[in-house]
Structure 1
Amino acid sequence: MSQGWTRRSFLTALPLPLLAGSGLAQDADRPQYHFLPPSNWMNDPNAPIWFKGEYHLFYQYNPKAAQWDTMHWGHATSSDLLHWKHLPIALAPTPGGSDKDGCFTGCMVVDGGKPVIVYTGVNPEVQCVARSEDLLTWTKEPNNPVIAGPPAGVDTPGFRDPHVWREGNEWRLLVGAGFRGKGGTVLLYKSNDLVKWTYLKPMLIGQKLSGPADPVASGEMWECPDFFPVGNKWLLYVSTQGKVLYWLGTWKDDVFTPESDGVLVHGAGYAPKSCDASGKRRIIWAWLREQRSKADQLRAGWSGSMSLAVVPTLDGDGKLLLNPAAEYDGLRGKRMREAAHDDCCEIHIKLDGMKPFGLLRGGQEVLGFDPESHVLSVGRSEAPVPPGRLDLRIFLDGSVVEVFANRRVWLTGRVYGERRGLSLRGDPRSIQSWPLTPVSRDRLTT
């Protein structure tokens, strides 16, 4: 990478919208109300935070091209979760520093009223700290890395993606890792000052699958842990095996006891991260991966989208519910008792769960349901659903499709191609739809 791309002074002086290509505004596959950068590559959401009345969303970003490369942290802010202002890059690799080869995924906390980022530097994977007064200018901790490697005796295929929270008068930290040959884990640490960390133990250990050689694909390595209370339970989730696994349980005296588990988001969704919004609700975002070739992504000039903001709650039986944030209702136009719009819309469909069903756009299936296997499909993505009636809330936005089934199954996928109207295969019990107002005229969500 050239010196010009690694010098933080250059990147922070360059407004991100200037990087956007002129053809992106006409690209029908680009979303119009999901968040995405002006151009180029995006992956994991990083360190979302509600701070002084605004949401700040950071994300893994390559400012050079629509492909993965040395990671920076993009940054945007919003007061309503819908309209985002793109800000200068927050973190860039420091030549010769512990993050010289990339500023990987991390989290943010507020310490003494001031924001603090904890993130991963790579080659080798270490944990680093950066501080700010205003969320715009960041100063990296002179003692970086604050955790210089895995604990002694832990043979792990990876060591990244810290998650930090306050526990009484101390801080707790989880790092995604794994026990080689055995299974993924999250390693638990404690600290009084966010700089000096003491390793405690693995909080949970999974089991490696046979077959895949890649440690993340096999479950030998867990990425992007997140951990927070939902109702009277605690929710832990990690990204591994191509999906996002979760556990609900109790947390007391540094012991997590799982009581139920499942898949948080199916399909294209990966590496989710959450923030607490003024103690009133928790909000989760996931990276929506592309499901087209690398060559197509490079030609398009952009790759990756953020999911809708999703709020987790519990039902009366303590089971996990997942709903899009209520703010999206504010984008609705006039309700129609049919699937009248093939893009930038929300559709509610109720099925009896006994017959096949399909929602097609221009002859291409956007959503399918197979009653024999009880599987929902969106593009190349699939998710099992329980037998019985289905209440589907479907969001179409460019190539992005997100489905919430009975408020329990969150399925995400990408469907590219022409917009030539919607049609149905099979008869639903009921159907209604709303056009959703684009948040900008240039498909830049700004």
Structure 2
Amino acid sequence: MRPDAQAADSPQQALSTPSQDTTPQWRPLLHYTPRRNWMNDPNGPFFYKGVYHLFYQYNPLGEEWGNMSWGHATSPDLLHWHEHDVAVPFSDTKDIFSGTVVVDTHNTSGLGTTDNPPLVALYTSVFKENAPRPAGVQAQSLAYSLDDGRTWQPYGKDPVLTLSPDSLHFRDPSVFWYAPGGYWVMTAVVANEQMVKLYKSTNLTEWTFLSDFGPTGFVHPDMLWEMPSLFPLPLDENPAQQKWVLMLGINPWSIAGGSGSMYFVGSFDGTTFHAEGLPPDGSDPAAYDWLDYGADHYAALVFSGLPESPPVTIGWMSNWDYAVQMPTSPWKGQMTLPMTMALRTIGGRPQLCLTPEKHYTTLVANDRPALSFDGLRLSSERHLLPDHARGQVLDIDMSMRIQDADRAGLFVRATADGQIGTCIVYDMKKHELIVDRSRSGLTDFSPKFSPEHAVSMPAPNGEISLHVIIDRNSVEVLSRNGSIVITDLIFPPVEADRIIAFSENGMTEFRYMKITRLDQKPE
């Protein structure tokens, strides 16, 4: 832990003092962010000896992108975070880009012992002018830890995997143990070619090419594929129907503009990933499957080393369209809320579903101040919820039935007069769930801060059930089954802490609504 870090008593990492934190109103309570400086993609999240480890792209010298290193934080519950010293720093010869960490339980690498197995990090080196390789070349390197991740040693043979000829875009290794074959599998990308490359190894230090995946027909000349992650999931919780999921970061051309996270479902035979149900070549982004339909979810990865349980994912809550203009200081960048993943048959095809991880649901249920409404009926009107539903950090569980209204929903992080607020609305005519942040607060820091994000969502008999998670500078809106998620950053003023329910041009019944305040301690 850094000397100026301290343990937090509420679900947040240690915060800077007011004199240091010039935008405390936007410092998230639930989502990890460093005390200061630039942060982007998560790297190598894993669970080991009861501790969750999170690494991330980090500039130790400033609030802008650069000097890429691996920052490091740990948590007992994915809510209370402790920031540590930089784990893998940049040097005069290379920057440290994204990668993975695995627990080498059987010491296949020979870098530890069976009694003290090593933690092995595989990451992308970007070589500089005075390096032994040409400037700008990207290749995969290795570091290891024998003290539970506190310190990291470089491997003597650097790099451990290159392309021939050298590439300026070969990056983002993600590694897992493939038990049926008894070897490690790596996915990496040649980002500008929209290509995922698969390799295998028995010792993590020597890699053999397996196969390529891509392109799939969803390509553009300036599109980058990044941060690939391949993992198995049972379909509909049936172990006999195992599928494989390949997650990717897409930048630009995502569903909400700029960068975003998509996925493919298919099969993996130990050599090749085969995607199923691909749209025709040249299809619109909406024809593909997205982890998130908002603007601020990118570079999703899966925690390795978890015991037998649903896999947990975390991503970068930002967008390359405007990340460098973010109005927060002295930090820029934060992570999404960790989510568990399941693969369910919805609409006749497998879809990846996200739900908040168990530690968060326990927090919400742990006697926090809550307000419940049943049977609130609105007819072409707005209704300001009472003062004890006010808050900057809220969990909202709600179900509404739109009877004959055109649109209905909530304004959250709103002022009492409704002039400022983020609109979460279902449109019955378009059959769309929409998050509109056009009047959410500060929005003019970038012309690419997109105002509205929508996704098609059925509403049988006008029934809509949503789970909404509100932090000081974000909203995460999930459908009840988790197949639809919209994640958006917002920058509201402090006084915007109200909720307004509304129904437009007709009747809506808010059949159930429970609002839990997470910025207050249990009663």
Smaller-chain TM-score range?
A: 0.7 to 0.9
Q: Residue in 1 aligned with 2:101?
A: 108
Distance 2:52 2:183 in 1: 25
Contact 2:138/2:168 (8 A) holds in 1: no
Contact 1:130 1:140 in 2 (8 A): yes
Shift of 1:156: 6.8
The amino acid that maps onto 2:458 is: P
Residue in 2 that maps onto 1:368: 424
Following superposition, the deviation at residue 382 of structure 1 comes to 1.4
- Secondary structure at 2:360's aligned position in 1? helix
C-alpha distance in 1 between matches for 2:312 and 2:189? 21
1:357 matches 2:412: no
User: Per-residue CA shift, 1:323-355, capped at 9, x if unaligned?
Assistant: 011211233313312561341110122244663
Q: Shift of the alpha carbon at 1:85?
A: 1.5
Q: 1:335 aligns to what?
A: 370
Q: How does 1:227-306 map to 2 (within 5 A)?
A: 227-231=230-234, 232-240=242-250, 241=253, 242-260=259-277, 262-266=289-293, 267-276=295-304, 277-289=306-318, 294=324, 297=327, 300-306=329-335
1:142 to 156, 159, 165: 156
Partner of residue 92 from structure 1, selected from 89, 92, 100: 89
Q: 1:9 matched to which residue of 2?
A: none
Distance (whole Å) between structure 1 residues aligned to residue 270 and residue 118 of structure 2: 27
Residue deviations 1:241-265 (CA, integer Å, cap 9, x gap):
3221101122224222223551012
Contact in 1 for aligned 2:396/2:469 (Cα 8 Å)? yes
Matched, 1:391 2:388: no
The answer as to whether partners of 1:81 and 1:327 remain within 8 angstroms in 2 is yes
Q: Which amino acid aligns with 2:358?
A: A
Query: Aligned in 2, Cα 1:438/1:108: closer, same or farther, shift over 3 Å?
Result: farther
Larger Rg: 2
Distance 1:329 1:178 in 2: 36
Q: What residue is the counterpart of 1:324 in the other structure? A: 356
Partner of 2:201: 191
For 1:44 and 1:233, locate their aligned partners in 2 and report how far apart those are by CA, in whole Å.
Answer: 26
Shift of 1:199: 1.8
Asked whether the equivalents of residues 160 and 175 of structure 1 are also in contact (C-alpha less than 8 Å), the reply is: yes
Instruction: Answer whether contact 1:19 1:39 (CA < 8 A) is retained.
Output: no
Q: Report whether the alignment pairs 1:49 with 2:46.
A: yes
Cα separation, partners in 2 of 1:164 and 1:435, compared to 1, 3 Å: same
> Which moved further from structure 2: 322-331 or 50-59?
322-331
| SS of match in other structure, 2:34 | coil
Match of 1:429 among 510, 513, 518: 510
- Number of residue pairs aligned between Structure 1 and Structure 2: 410
Alignment-derived partner of residue 160 in structure 1:
171
CA 1:382–1:47 in structure 2 vs 1: closer, same or farther (change >3 Å)?
same
1:128 alignment partner in structure 2: 141
CA distance in 1, matches of 2:197, 2:73: 30
Amino acid in structure 2 at the alignment position of 1:368: I
Identity %: 28
| Distance of aligned partners of 1:69 and 1:19 in 2 relative to their CA distance in 1, 3 Å threshold | farther
Distance, in Å, in 1 between the alignment partners of 2:83 and 2:489 is: 24
RMSD across aligned positions (CA): 2.6
8 Å contact 2:198–2:209 — kept in the other structure? yes
Question: Higher RCO, 1 or 2 (CA under 8 Å, sep at least 6)?
Answer: 1
> What are the ranges of 5 or more consecutive residues in structure 1 without an aligned counterpart?
1-11, 440-446
> Which residue is equivalent to 1:200?
210
Counterparts of residues 302-313 of structure 1 (less than 5 Å): 302-313=331-342
2:86 is paired with a residue of what secondary structure? strand
Q: CA deviation at 1:359?
A: 2.5
Partner of 1:171: 184
Contact preservation (8 Å) 1:275, 1:283: yes
Change (3 A) 1:423 1:387: same
- Contact 1:381–1:411, Cα closer than 8 Å, also in 2: no
Structure 1 residues 293 and 158: CA distance shift in structure 2, 3 A: closer
In the TM superposition, residue 15 of structure 1 has moved relative to its aligned partner by 5.5
Instruction: Tell me which protein shows more strand as a share of its residues.
Output: 1
Return the offset for 1:28.
1.2
Are the counterparts in 2 of residues 245 and 262 from structure 1 also a CA contact under 8 Å?
Answer: yes
Counterpart of 1:315 in structure 2 is 344
Q: Secondary structure at the match of 2:371?
A: coil
The AA in structure 1 aligned to 2:517 is P
Specify the code of the residue in structure 2 equivalent to 1:265.
D
Matched AA of 2:292:
V
- CA gap of 1:235–1:293, structure 2 versus 1, over 3 A, is closer
Question: Larger deviation: 257-266 or 167-176?
Answer: 257-266
Matching residue's letter, 2:435: S
Q: CA deviation at 1:387?
A: 2.2
Deviation (angstroms), 1:293: 7.5
Cα distance in 1 for partners of 2:452, 2:172 equals: 25
Q: What is the one-letter code of the residue matched to 1:325?
A: E
Shift of 1:14: 6.2
Structure 2: which amino acid aligns with 1:423?
Answer: I
User: Contact 1:32–1:438 at 8 Å: present in 2 too?
Assistant: no
Q: 1:348 and 2:348 equivalent? A: no
Equivalent position of 2:283 in the other structure = none
Partner of 1:414: 489
Question: Structure 1's 417 and 405: CA in aligned 2 closer, same or farther, altered over 3 A?
Answer: same
TM-score by length of 1: 0.84
Cα 1:186–1:394 shift into 2, 3 Å = same
Deviation at 1:89, TM superposition (A): 1.0
| Counterpart residue type for residue 319 of structure 1 | Q
Supply the distance in 2 between the matched residues of 1:40 and 1:173 (Cα, whole angstroms): 30
Q: Which string of whole-angstrom CA distances, capped at 9 and with x for unpartnered residues, describes residues 117-148 of structure 1?
A: 00011121111100001201101111111113
The amino acid of 2:501's aligned partner reads L
SS at match of 2:372: coil
Deviation, 1:169, is 2.2
Query: Post-superposition shift, 1:19?
Result: 9.9
CA separation of 1:296 and 1:114: change in aligned 2, threshold 3 A: closer
Q: Distance in 1 between matches of 2:206 and 2:82?
A: 35
> What is the Cα deviation at residue 358 of structure 1?
4.2
Per-residue Cα deviation, 1:283-315 (whole angstroms, up to 9, x for no partner): 100100168684553x62211111111000123
